[in-house]
A = this chain, B = another copy of it.
Amino acid sequence: MFLETTFSKGKAFPAFSVGGKNPDYTGHVKSYRKELWFEVPARRAFVNITGQVRQCLLESKISEGLALVNAMHITASVFINDDESGLHHDYEVWLEKLAPHEPLSDYRHNLTGEDNADAHIKRQVMGREVVVAITNGRLDFGPWEQIFYGEFDGGRRKRVLVKIIGE
């Protein structure tokens, strides 16, 4: 499911000089980037991605910092909550009541030929992104926190971005 990883230890720092030398060292802020790809067959689903984000953190070798995890698509969410199937059912029912998929004609966006106006709304409610503290090389989580990808317009390949900065 992983596709692309970019490591960066930063750029050379030209302003630094000792005794006329510019030592060739490589910067100050460590950064890491990876895209996670998903293809959810159903229109809507919640996928626990905590393990994949944890794997990214291991690869990053960053021990103190912040991790941003965001949907790169605007009909999907990344959020943190409980990994309990009853709750996910409740979210699904509640969101569908709040912004029903049908009738499609209730949404002007669907005049563009899309049928996903409800998905754009559901994603706003559940959120685009989470920012997670990194402490001692670990996701700094409370006891029940789990990261989910929320798909509201599935059936095609979509991405989540993991970007970690720190050192």
Contact = CB atoms under 8 A, between A and B. Distances in A.
Nearest to A30: B29
The dominant DSSP class at the A interface is mixed
- Give the number of times this chain occurs in the complex, counting copies: 3
A60 interface: no
Contacts of A19: 18-19
Q: How large is the interface on A (under 10, 10 to 19, 20 to 34, 35 or more residues)?
A: 35 or more
A148 to B, nearest CB: 11
5 contacts: A15-B25, A73-B142, A87-B117, A87-B120, A91-B121
Given A74-B142, A87-B107, A124-B125, 5 more contacts: A72-B145, A73-B144, A79-B128, A82-B120, A135-B163
Interface of A: 6, 8-11, 13, 15-19, 21, 23, 25-31, 33, 63-66, 68, 70-74, 79-82, 84, 86-87, 89-91, 94, 98-99, 107-112, 117, 120-121, 123-133, 135, 140-145, 159, 161, 163, 165-167
